[in-house]
Amino acid sequence: MENFKIRFFLEKKSIFTALLWFTIFLNCILRAYASFGFGFSRKGYKFSYKLFDKAIMFASNKYKIPAPFLIAVIRAESNFNIDAVSPKGAVGLMQVMPETAKTMNLNAFNPLINIIAGAKYLRYCLTMFGYNPVPALACYNAGPGSVRTIYIKNRPKFIIPPYRQTEIYIMRVYKYYDYYRKLLKH
Protein backbone atom coordinates (compact mmCIF):
# COMPACT_ATOMS: atom_id res chain seq x y z
CA MET A 1 0.00 0.00 0.00
CA GLU A 2 2.80 2.40 0.89
CA ASN A 3 4.56 1.65 -2.42
CA PHE A 4 1.35 2.52 -4.28
CA LYS A 5 1.10 5.91 -2.53
CA ILE A 6 4.72 6.77 -3.26
CA ARG A 7 4.42 5.72 -6.89
CA PHE A 8 1.19 7.71 -7.27
CA PHE A 9 2.71 10.93 -5.99
CA LEU A 10 5.93 10.48 -7.94
CA GLU A 11 4.05 9.97 -11.18
CA LYS A 12 1.64 12.83 -10.53
CA LYS A 13 3.01 15.25 -13.08
CA SER A 14 -0.19 16.85 -14.24
CA ILE A 15 -3.89 17.16 -13.58
CA PHE A 16 -4.51 14.69 -16.40
CA THR A 17 -2.46 12.00 -14.67
CA ALA A 18 -4.31 12.59 -11.41
CA LEU A 19 -7.67 12.34 -13.21
CA LEU A 20 -6.52 9.15 -14.91
CA TRP A 21 -5.61 7.60 -11.55
CA PHE A 22 -8.90 8.74 -10.05
CA THR A 23 -10.80 7.13 -12.95
CA ILE A 24 -8.88 3.87 -12.48
CA PHE A 25 -9.54 3.97 -8.72
CA LEU A 26 -13.24 4.62 -9.30
CA ASN A 27 -13.38 1.83 -11.85
CA CYS A 28 -11.76 -0.57 -9.34
CA ILE A 29 -14.35 0.36 -6.72
CA LEU A 30 -17.18 -0.19 -9.21
CA ARG A 31 -15.75 -3.55 -10.21
CA ALA A 32 -15.42 -4.59 -6.56
CA TYR A 33 -19.00 -3.46 -6.00
CA ALA A 34 -20.12 -5.49 -9.02
CA SER A 35 -18.17 -8.57 -7.96
CA PHE A 36 -20.53 -8.98 -5.02
CA GLY A 37 -23.36 -9.40 -7.51
CA PHE A 38 -24.60 -5.84 -7.44
CA GLY A 39 -25.45 -4.15 -10.68
CA PHE A 40 -27.72 -1.49 -12.00
CA SER A 41 -30.78 -1.29 -14.16
CA ARG A 42 -31.64 1.00 -17.02
CA LYS A 43 -34.77 1.10 -19.14
CA GLY A 44 -35.88 -2.34 -18.10
CA TYR A 45 -32.45 -3.94 -18.52
CA LYS A 46 -30.62 -5.38 -15.51
CA PHE A 47 -26.83 -5.20 -15.84
CA SER A 48 -23.83 -6.12 -13.80
CA TYR A 49 -20.25 -5.25 -14.60
CA LYS A 50 -19.49 -8.93 -15.07
CA LEU A 51 -21.84 -8.84 -18.06
CA PHE A 52 -19.77 -6.05 -19.60
CA ASP A 53 -16.60 -8.10 -19.14
CA LYS A 54 -18.31 -11.05 -20.83
CA ALA A 55 -19.59 -8.86 -23.68
CA ILE A 56 -16.13 -7.42 -24.26
CA MET A 57 -14.54 -10.88 -24.26
CA PHE A 58 -17.28 -12.23 -26.56
CA ALA A 59 -16.82 -9.36 -29.04
CA SER A 60 -13.05 -9.67 -28.81
CA ASN A 61 -13.15 -13.37 -29.64
CA LYS A 62 -15.87 -13.12 -32.28
CA TYR A 63 -14.32 -10.26 -34.25
CA LYS A 64 -10.66 -11.17 -33.55
CA ILE A 65 -9.84 -7.85 -31.90
CA PRO A 66 -7.49 -7.92 -28.90
CA ALA A 67 -9.43 -7.26 -25.68
CA PRO A 68 -7.07 -4.47 -24.50
CA PHE A 69 -7.54 -2.70 -27.84
CA LEU A 70 -11.32 -2.96 -27.56
CA ILE A 71 -11.24 -1.70 -23.98
CA ALA A 72 -9.00 1.19 -25.06
CA VAL A 73 -11.50 2.19 -27.74
CA ILE A 74 -14.33 2.09 -25.20
CA ARG A 75 -12.30 4.22 -22.81
CA ALA A 76 -11.42 6.76 -25.51
CA GLU A 77 -14.96 6.90 -26.87
CA SER A 78 -17.08 7.10 -23.71
CA ASN A 79 -14.84 6.71 -20.66
CA PHE A 80 -17.03 3.71 -19.70
CA ASN A 81 -20.21 5.83 -19.54
CA ILE A 82 -23.15 3.79 -20.84
CA ASP A 83 -25.30 6.90 -21.23
CA ALA A 84 -22.73 8.87 -23.24
CA VAL A 85 -24.11 10.77 -26.23
CA SER A 86 -21.81 12.70 -28.53
CA PRO A 87 -22.71 16.05 -30.09
CA LYS A 88 -23.01 14.20 -33.43
CA GLY A 89 -25.52 11.73 -31.96
CA ALA A 90 -23.34 8.67 -31.33
CA VAL A 91 -24.53 6.70 -28.29
CA GLY A 92 -23.28 4.27 -25.70
CA LEU A 93 -19.97 2.82 -24.66
CA MET A 94 -18.59 2.45 -28.18
CA GLN A 95 -20.28 5.64 -29.44
CA VAL A 96 -22.10 3.88 -32.26
CA MET A 97 -24.17 6.03 -34.57
CA PRO A 98 -27.81 4.89 -34.52
CA GLU A 99 -27.85 4.73 -38.33
CA THR A 100 -24.80 2.43 -38.32
CA ALA A 101 -26.42 0.16 -35.76
CA LYS A 102 -29.62 0.13 -37.80
CA THR A 103 -27.71 -1.05 -40.90
CA MET A 104 -26.26 -3.89 -38.78
CA ASN A 105 -29.74 -4.67 -37.33
CA LEU A 106 -28.55 -4.01 -33.78
CA ASN A 107 -29.89 -1.89 -30.93
CA ALA A 108 -27.23 0.72 -30.10
CA PHE A 109 -29.04 1.84 -26.95
CA ASN A 110 -28.53 -1.50 -25.15
CA PRO A 111 -25.02 -1.25 -23.61
CA LEU A 112 -24.18 -4.92 -24.18
CA ILE A 113 -25.30 -4.83 -27.79
CA ASN A 114 -23.49 -1.49 -28.20
CA ILE A 115 -20.19 -3.19 -27.39
CA ILE A 116 -20.86 -5.87 -29.99
CA ALA A 117 -22.00 -3.31 -32.60
CA GLY A 118 -18.92 -1.18 -32.00
CA ALA A 119 -16.62 -4.20 -32.24
CA LYS A 120 -18.32 -5.29 -35.46
CA TYR A 121 -17.86 -1.83 -36.97
CA LEU A 122 -14.25 -1.66 -35.74
CA ARG A 123 -13.62 -5.02 -37.41
CA TYR A 124 -15.14 -3.63 -40.62
CA CYS A 125 -12.76 -0.66 -40.43
CA LEU A 126 -9.80 -2.95 -39.76
CA THR A 127 -10.55 -5.18 -42.75
CA MET A 128 -11.17 -2.15 -44.95
CA PHE A 129 -7.65 -0.86 -44.26
CA GLY A 130 -5.70 -4.10 -44.25
CA TYR A 131 -5.68 -4.54 -40.45
CA ASN A 132 -3.64 -1.36 -40.04
CA PRO A 133 -4.90 0.09 -36.74
CA VAL A 134 -4.15 3.78 -37.40
CA PRO A 135 -6.38 4.22 -40.48
CA ALA A 136 -8.93 1.85 -38.92
CA LEU A 137 -9.17 4.08 -35.85
CA ALA A 138 -9.44 7.14 -38.08
CA CYS A 139 -12.22 5.36 -39.97
CA TYR A 140 -13.97 4.51 -36.70
CA ASN A 141 -13.70 8.09 -35.45
CA ALA A 142 -14.21 10.20 -38.58
CA GLY A 143 -15.99 7.78 -40.90
CA PRO A 144 -14.81 5.54 -43.72
CA GLY A 145 -15.12 8.26 -46.36
CA SER A 146 -12.61 10.48 -44.64
CA VAL A 147 -9.66 8.06 -44.82
CA ARG A 148 -8.25 7.79 -48.31
CA THR A 149 -6.04 5.10 -49.75
CA ILE A 150 -3.45 5.84 -52.40
CA TYR A 151 -1.11 3.34 -53.96
CA ILE A 152 2.59 4.03 -54.18
CA LYS A 153 4.54 1.36 -56.05
CA ASN A 154 1.78 -1.23 -55.48
CA ARG A 155 1.75 -0.56 -51.73
CA PRO A 156 -1.22 1.13 -50.10
CA LYS A 157 -0.58 4.33 -48.21
CA PHE A 158 -3.32 5.70 -46.04
CA ILE A 159 -4.00 9.39 -45.71
CA ILE A 160 -5.51 10.18 -42.34
CA PRO A 161 -7.93 13.11 -42.34
CA PRO A 162 -6.34 16.29 -41.01
CA TYR A 163 -8.83 16.62 -38.16
CA ARG A 164 -7.21 17.50 -34.87
CA GLN A 165 -9.87 15.53 -32.98
CA THR A 166 -9.06 12.36 -34.94
CA GLU A 167 -5.32 12.74 -34.32
CA ILE A 168 -5.90 13.20 -30.59
CA TYR A 169 -8.31 10.25 -30.58
CA ILE A 170 -5.76 7.91 -32.18
CA MET A 171 -3.07 8.96 -29.69
CA ARG A 172 -5.48 8.42 -26.76
CA VAL A 173 -6.47 4.96 -27.95
CA TYR A 174 -2.82 3.95 -28.30
CA LYS A 175 -2.00 5.29 -24.81
CA TYR A 176 -4.94 3.40 -23.29
CA TYR A 177 -4.12 0.30 -25.32
CA ASP A 178 -0.57 0.29 -23.98
CA TYR A 179 -1.90 0.68 -20.43
CA TYR A 180 -4.53 -2.08 -20.70
CA ARG A 181 -2.15 -4.41 -22.55
CA LYS A 182 0.27 -4.17 -19.61
CA LEU A 183 -2.54 -4.41 -17.08
CA LEU A 184 -4.07 -7.50 -18.69
CA LYS A 185 -0.65 -8.89 -19.70
CA HIS A 186 -1.59 -9.43 -23.36
Q: Which residues are catalytic?
A: 77
Q: Which of 101, 55, 61, 87 is nearest to 74 (CA)?
A: 55
Torsion from C-alpha of 140, 39, 62, 155, nearest 10 degrees: 20
Helix (H) or strand (E) holding 85: none
Spatial contact of 77 and 95, defined as CB atoms under 8 Å apart: yes
Give burial (CB, 10 Å; 0-12/13-18/19+) of 80: middle
